[in-house]
Chains A and B, each alone.
Chain A
Amino acid sequence: MSGRRGRISDDEINELISKLQALLPETSRRRNASRSSASKLLKETCSYIKSLHREVDDLSDRLSELMSTMDNDSPQAEIIRSLLR
Chain B
Amino acid sequence: MISLGGGDGGGGSSSSSSSASRKSSSRAKATQTKWRTGTQQKIYGRRLLDALRATGGAPQPRAVKAAADSALALTARGQTRWSRAILLSTCRRRVLVKAGGKIRRRHHRRPAKAAALEPAALKERKVKERLRVLGRLVPGCRKLPAPALLEETADYVAALEMQVKTMRALADALAAAQLSSASPPETERS
Contact = CB atoms under 8 A, between A and B. Distances in A.
A60 B48 CA distance: 12
Contacts of A70: 174, 177-178
B187 A52 contact: no
Contacts of A63: 52, 61, 64, 167, 170-171, 174
Interface string B139-169: 0000001110010011011001101100110
A61 B61 contact: yes
**Highest count of chain B CB atoms <10 Å: which of A8, A13, A80, A81:** A80
Nearest to A69: B187
B90 interface: no
Interface residues on chain B, size class = 35 or more
Contacts, number: 159
B15 A67 contact: no
Interface residues of A, number: 54
A84 B4 contact: yes
A42 B173 CA distance: 35
Nearest to B12: A22
Contacts of A38: 123, 127, 130
A29 B45 contact: no
Nearest to B28: A19
Nearest to A14: B19
A18 interface: yes
A62 B64 CA distance: 10
Contact of B163 (A13, A18, A43, A56): A56
Nearest 9 Cβ contacts at the A-B interface: A42-B130, A60-B64, A60-B65, A59-B167, A22-B15, A52-B160, A68-B58, A64-B61, A39-B126
13 contacts: A1-B147, A5-B145, A12-B147, A16-B146, A23-B154, A39-B127, A50-B137, A55-B164, A56-B164, A66-B189, A76-B181, A80-B49, A84-B46
Interface of A: 1, 3-5, 7-8, 12-13, 15-16, 18-23, 26, 29, 37-39, 42-43, 45-46, 48-50, 52-53, 55-57, 59-64, 66-71, 73, 75-77, 79-81, 83-84
